[in-house]
C-alpha cells in the first residue's frame, strides 16, 4: 500500500452516513501531513499493521475501512490460531484503533464482543504456556569483562563498540536515542566529566530535553573513541558513526541503523563465547538493543534503587514495564521467601 489515504472503504453503516469515503481520505491526508507528531517507529508499526489487515480483507473481498468489529474479531482469532503471540495481537488492536481515530471513525474499543474475544485470546495463550519474551540482560560484570578484553584493542571498531556499550548501560537509553547523539550534544568539562544533552526520548518530548551524566569510566571510553576517531573535531557528526575497513572513522550526519547497533551487542556476545538462550521467544537468544536497559535496571534494583529512580533513569512512564524487567531479578524475591531463608 503506497499511501494511507488510498484505503479501500466498504459500505458505511447507518450511524456514519454523514461521513463519506472522501471525508475519510481527507482525514488520513491530514494525518499523514502531521505524521511528525509521532515517532518513526510508531508510524512504521502502523503501516505494517494496516498492510496486514488490508491484505487479509482483500483476500475476502471486503473493505477495510470502516473496520467492522465482527470482522476484526475474526481477524484476531485467526492470528491467534496461526500462533502469533497475544502481545502481537494487542499491538495490532492498538494500531487499528489509532487508524480508526485518525480516520474520524468509531474505535474498536466500543465493541464488547471484540473486547471479550481479546480477553479470551490472552487467557488461552497464558493457559497454553505462553510467556513474554525479554531481552537477555547485559549486566555490569559483562561490561567489565568486555572492557578488559577490548580496552587495549587497536581496532577503531572495538573502541567505538566499547564506548557505545558503556554509554548504553550508563544512560539506559534506547537504541534510537543512542544512535542520534551528535558530538555537539556533549558537554565536556576540563576534568573529563561528560554530560549528554538528549533532545528527547520515546516518552519525554520537551523543549528542556533530557540530561544524562556519564560515569568516569563511561566518559573515559567515550572520549577515547572520539579522540582516536577524530570525531571530537566534528560537532555535527554522530558520536557513533561508521568505521571503514582501513581502520579509519567515517564522519556521518545520519544515525546508525538499527541493524548496525544490534550488531554491536551480538558481536559482544560472540566475543564472550556465550551460548544462545533457549525458550525466550527465539528473537531473544543473544543480547539485543534493549539488553543494556534491562541489565542496568536489574543491577540498579539489586543495589536497592527504588522503582521511581529506575523509571527516572530509563525514562519509563509505567512502573509495570519496569516490574516486567525485574521479575527474574534477585531483588524481587518475595518477602515470604526471605523469611523462610532467615533473612
Annotated catalytic residues are: 174, 290, 293, 316, 325
Distance in angstroms (rounded) separating the CA atoms of residues 276 and 254: 32
Structure-block grid coordinates of residue 22: 472522501
Give residue for cell 502469533. 84
Alpha helix stretches (DSSP H) within the chain = 21-33, 40-59, 69-81, 86-103, 112-127, 140-150, 156-171, 175-179, 216-229, 258-271, 291-302, 307-314, 319-326, 335-340
Distance in angstroms (rounded) separating the CA atoms of residues 244 and 165: 20
Contacts of 28 (CB under 8 A, 6+ apart): 4, 5, 7, 102, 103
Q: Taking the CB of residue 295, how many other CB atoms lie within 10 A of it?
A: 24
Three-state DSSP class for 306? coil
Q: Can you give the length of the chain in residues?
A: 343
CA atoms within 13 A on the CB side of 99: 28
Q: 143, 172 in Cβ contact below 8 A?
A: no
Distance in angstroms (rounded) separating the CA atoms of residues 321 and 311: 9
Q: 28, 102 in Cβ contact below 8 A?
A: yes
Contacts of 16 (CB under 8 A, 6+ apart): 66, 105, 106
Structure-block grid coordinates of residue 342: 532467615
Per-residue b or e along 75-92, where b marks 16 or more CB atoms closer than 10 Å to that residue's CB: bbeebbeeebbbeebeeb
Q: Determine the distance from the C-alpha atom of residue 89 to the mean position of all C-alpha atoms in its chain, rounded to a whole number.
A: 17
Contacts of 236 (CB under 8 A, 6+ apart): 182, 183, 184, 253
Amino acid at each position: 500500500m503506497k499511501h494511507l489515504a488510498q484505503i479501500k472503504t466498504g459500505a458505511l453503516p447507518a450511524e456514519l452516513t454523514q461521513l463519506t469515503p472522501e471525508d475519510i481520505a481527507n482525514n488520513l491526508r491530514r494525518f499523514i501531513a502531521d505524521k511528525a507528531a509521532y515517532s518513526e517507529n510508531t508510524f512504521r508499526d502502523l503501516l505494517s499493521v494496516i498492510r496486514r489487515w488490508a491484505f487479509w480483507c482483500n483476500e475476502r473481498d471486503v473493505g477495510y475501512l470502516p473496520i467492522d468489529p465482527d470482522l476484526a474479531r475474526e481477524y484476531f482469532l485467526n492470528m491467534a490460531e496461526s500462533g502469533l503471540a497475544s502481545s502481537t495481537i494487542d499491538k495490532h488492536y492498538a494500531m487499528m484503533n489509532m487508524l480508526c481515530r485518525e480516520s474520524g471513525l468509531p474505535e474498536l474499543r466500543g465493541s464488547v464482543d471484540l473486547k471479550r474475544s481479546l480477553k479470551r485470546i490472552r487467557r488461552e495463550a497464558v493457559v497454553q504456556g505462553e510467556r513474554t519474551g525479554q531481552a537477555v540482560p547485559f549486566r555490569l560484570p559483562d561490561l567489565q569483562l568486555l572492557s578488559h578484553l577490548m580496552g587495549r584493542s587497536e581496532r577503531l571498531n572495538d573502541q567505538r563498540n566499547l564506548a557505545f556499550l558503556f554509554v548504553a548501560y550508563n544512560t539506559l537509553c534506547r537504541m534510537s536515542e543512542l544512535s542520534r547523539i551528535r558530538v555537539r550534544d556533549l558537554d565536556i568539562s576540563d576534568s573529563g566529566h561528560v554530560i549528554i544533552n538528549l533532545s528527547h526520548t520515546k516518552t519525554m518530548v520537551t523543549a528542556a530535553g533530557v540530561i544524562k551524566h556519564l560515569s568516569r569510566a563511561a566518559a573515559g571510553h567515550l572520549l577515547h573513541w572520539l579522540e582516536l576517531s577524530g570525531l571530537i573535531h566534528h560537532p555535527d557528526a554522530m558520536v557513533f558513526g561508521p568505521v571503514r575497513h582501513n581502520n579509519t572513522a567515517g564522519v556521518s550526519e545520519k544515525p546508525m541503523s538499527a541493524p548496525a547497533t544490534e550488531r554491536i551487542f551480538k558481536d559482544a556476545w560472540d566475543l564472550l563465547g556465550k551460548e544462545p538462550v533457549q525458550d525466550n521467544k527465539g528473537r531473544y537468544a543473544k543480547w539485543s538493543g534493549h539488553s543494556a536497559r534491562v541489565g542496568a535496571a536489574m543491577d540498579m534494583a539489586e543495589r536497592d534503587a527504588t522503582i521511581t529512580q529506575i523509571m527516572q533513569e530509563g525514562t519509563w512512564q509505567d512502573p509495570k514495564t519496569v516490574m516486567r524487567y525485574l521479575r527474574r531479578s534477585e531483588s524481587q524475591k518475595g518477602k515470604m521467601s526471605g523469611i523462610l531463608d532467615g533473612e
